[in-house]
Chain A
């Protein structure tokens, strides 16, 4: 009887699986329990409490680069917001730049010009085989060794490049500019529906409309017309050198620019590879058939190749976007106040709440990763084959 039971335990697949899983759960629970016990003991011995009350306490440090106002009297929670915003800022701009550059280089790599495509190849091999951290540091050290403020390089009359960043005129929106903005938004919405209508019309009747020109004309001219109607409600504030620094205008700090350059140039190399392989994956017959139908080569690319290549490109592109977002955590190496540098670094050192802070930081990155994945999956579903219907 007993032997039978043991035999079942070992040889009956269903029962064995239940036994193994129970053992795993037990082992896991034991591990979690012992770790939490040790941790509680260690924390108590070091006099570190647990809990999230520290979020409401004053941070006591300054953040030089912040989109929202932040002083040392503000709370750790606000420092967290500053970090999240800065991380998102550099990620979003990085993703945009990297995508543009990556698509360009990917297409250049397929150019019929031997020299041109090999220059692109050298760029790709050099950037993707060198750590992104090193590239960020390198760009940053180039930027902070630009001329000093007093000898700033002036170009296009109102732009100044110096070791403190790129100073440019700042737009000042006067009363009535919101109407221009609204007219722009309405123009975009309107042209979206117009485009759909014209496409349907083309599908029904076969008549072609210059959709691209019509839509761009609407989107460009509507706001321009309203801009003049409202009496040009926009002025520029120019940076002026006063004493040791520029006053007024906008500035792009070397920390931000270094991150942006490092991240986007590095990621663009990977994106260009996915773009290249995506375009190669479109069968040669497609290109030949469309050329035989008499399409111009620019139209072949836009209408035939790219839409099909996108199906192959989107999934690896998504993981490159994720990588870029995660790599934006390297700001700490050059003093860019992202999530890991400010909240995850300085706040952690000041409060000693390693567990809570790392938990918050990791969950934040997980949420960002998840959001990007969801958005890209949504887009991916749109570009995939729609079946035969």
Chain B
């Protein structure tokens, strides 16, 4: 009985949502045809006709000449072996294999450092927050080295490690800076608000690539000899400044949403500017601005791929380096699709999180 009811429900649903008029029916049919064509083509390429470790003859693939598509005319399946061969580089770049446990440890600890920021209803949140505060130092010590750990220069870092490093560190460093900028922009002191406005609007008006160029070419000129940071840190400076300007605008939106009465009430209770800002304004404003902050963070995470232009090997940079290798060259689509999927997973997860937050904010306020 229930199956009849559910079948009926499905028919009713599709009548309403797919075949409500003749034009809708036509669109549905055309769309199904389109999905069929595209997904079959893609699945054929990526899965059914693809080589993973062996080609269609069952031989192990050693270089691109072994890929089925390079042997058999008319064959077009992907040759995923290049990802397998380069997987280590995609993850860690040129990080020495003997020391790679350090990166893995950091990646393992990262979720524990982030969980307290992302979710506010977890047990022992306070202790997790303490861990979040010390995590950057632990991570830097582990990744770069120091007492009793051999130093691994940042020129050895690469792949997902660099992408995550720039993304996470850039966002983390930009956060306090952006609060200062947002407060500064709303400040009553004309000099301070003018400086903040100029900084924010300047950064938002120019492309990130020009900032990366500037950091790359000009930081060594601006700083005394010997004080000049290495390539990765230069990129980090540019990325942090860039992100802070966008984040500051997100926070400014939150600040503007706080009714003036709140601030006046706080001041009339005798709270100083800093007390009212810290205890009344910021907690409310930051809560509102988290979704836009996450959205700008997604943007920044994608934009870290620009560092390949100044010669760093992030995920995409490693991909291009893999393609430059003569024995694997021309496997463009495999590399780019793989990199795209990795970026997609991270960015999609973040955008889902932002949606979840927006929903939560809406229900919390009601």
Residues of A participating in the B interface, judged by any CB pair closer than 8 Å: 17, 20-21, 24-25, 28, 35, 38-39, 42-43, 111-116, 119, 125-126, 128-135, 137-138, 141, 145, 326-327, 329-330, 332-333, 340, 344, 348, 354-355, 358, 361-362, 365-366, 369-370
The residue in B209, B221, B223, B348 that gathers the most chain A C-beta atoms within 10 A of its C-beta is B209
Contact A134 B24 (CB under 8 A): no
Q: Select A132's contact among B18, B34, B220, B302, beta carbons within 8 Å.
A: B302
Flag whether B62 is at the interface (Cβ < 8 A). no
Cβ of A149 to closest chain B Cβ, rounded Å:
19
Contact A365 B207 (CB under 8 A): yes
Cβ of A338 to closest chain B Cβ, rounded Å:
10
Q: Select B316's contact among A17, A24, A116, A131, beta carbons within 8 Å.
A: A131
In the bound complex, CA of A21 to CA of B190 (Å):
8
Cβ of B42 to closest chain A Cβ, rounded Å:
11
In the complex with contacts A24-B191, A358-B214, A365-B210, A333-B224 CB distance below 8 A: no
Contact A354 B218 (CB under 8 A): yes
- Residues of B within 8 Å of A370, CB to CB, are 205
> Nearest 3 A-B pairs (CB), nearest first?
A129-B347, A354-B217, A114-B17
Contact A355 B191 (CB under 8 A): no
Query: A135 — nearest CB in chain B belongs to which residue?
Result: B340
Query: A333 — nearest CB in chain B belongs to which residue?
Result: B309
Q: Select B217's contact among A119, A348, A362, A369, beta carbons within 8 Å.
A: A348
The residue in B32, B302, B339 that gathers the most chain A C-beta atoms within 10 A of its C-beta is B302
In the bound complex, CA of A21 to CA of B225 (Å):
31
Cβ of A236 to closest chain B Cβ, rounded Å:
34
30 contacts between A and B (CB under 8 A): A21-B189, A21-B191, A24-B191, A24-B195, A113-B24, A113-B31, A115-B18, A115-B28, A129-B347, A131-B343, A133-B305, A134-B336, A134-B343, A137-B320, A137-B336, A138-B332, A326-B206, A327-B207, A329-B209, A330-B309, A340-B210, A344-B210, A348-B213, A354-B217, A358-B217, A361-B210, A365-B210, A366-B202, A366-B206, A369-B205
Query: A41 — nearest CB in chain B belongs to which residue?
Result: B224
Contact B189 A28 (CB under 8 A): no
- Residues of B within 8 Å of A20, CB to CB, are 189, 192
Q: Select A126's contact among B17, B31, B217, B344, beta carbons within 8 Å.
A: B344
Contact A38 B209 (CB under 8 A): no
14 new A-B pairs (CB below 8 Å) besides A138-B333, A344-B213, A358-B213?
A17-B188, A20-B192, A21-B190, A129-B343, A129-B351, A130-B302, A130-B343, A131-B305, A134-B316, A329-B207, A330-B207, A330-B209, A348-B217, A365-B205
List residues 311-344 of chain B with CB under 8 A from any CB of chain A. Answer: 316, 320, 332-333, 336, 339-340, 343-344
In the complex with contacts A330-B209, A354-B218, A130-B347 CB distance below 8 A: yes
Flag whether B137 is at the interface (Cβ < 8 A). no
Flag whether B222 is at the interface (Cβ < 8 A). yes
Cβ of B33 to closest chain A Cβ, rounded Å:
11
In the bound complex, CA of A340 to CA of B20 (Å):
52
In the bound complex, CA of A71 to CA of B347 (Å):
44
- Residues of B within 8 Å of A365, CB to CB, are 205-207, 210
In the bound complex, CA of A128 to CA of B302 (Å):
9
List residues 266-318 of chain B with CB under 8 A from any CB of chain A. Answer: 298, 302-303, 305-306, 308-309, 316
- Residues of A within 8 Å of B210, CB to CB, are 329, 340, 344, 358, 361-362, 365
- Residues of A within 8 Å of B305, CB to CB, are 131, 133-134
Query: A349 — nearest CB in chain B belongs to which residue?
Result: B217
Q: Select A131's contact among B220, B303, B332, beta carbons within 8 Å.
A: B303
- Residues of B within 8 Å of A361, CB to CB, are 210
List residues 154-200 of chain B with CB under 8 A from any CB of chain A. Answer: 188-192, 195
List residues 18-41 of chain B with CB under 8 A from any CB of chain A. Answer: 18, 20, 24, 27-28, 31-32, 34-35
Cβ of A362 to closest chain B Cβ, rounded Å:
5
In the bound complex, CA of A128 to CA of B352 (Å):
13
- Residues of A within 8 Å of B332, CB to CB, are 138, 141, 145
- Residues of B within 8 Å of A133, CB to CB, are 305-306, 308, 316
In the complex with contacts A43-B221, A114-B18, A134-B339, A25-B316 CB distance below 8 A: no
In the bound complex, CA of A310 to CA of B208 (Å):
29
Q: Select A116's contact among B28, B188, B208, beta carbons within 8 Å.
A: B28
Cβ of A25 to closest chain B Cβ, rounded Å:
6
Contact A332 B221 (CB under 8 A): no
The residue in A17, A35, A130 that gathers the most chain B C-beta atoms within 10 A of its C-beta is A130
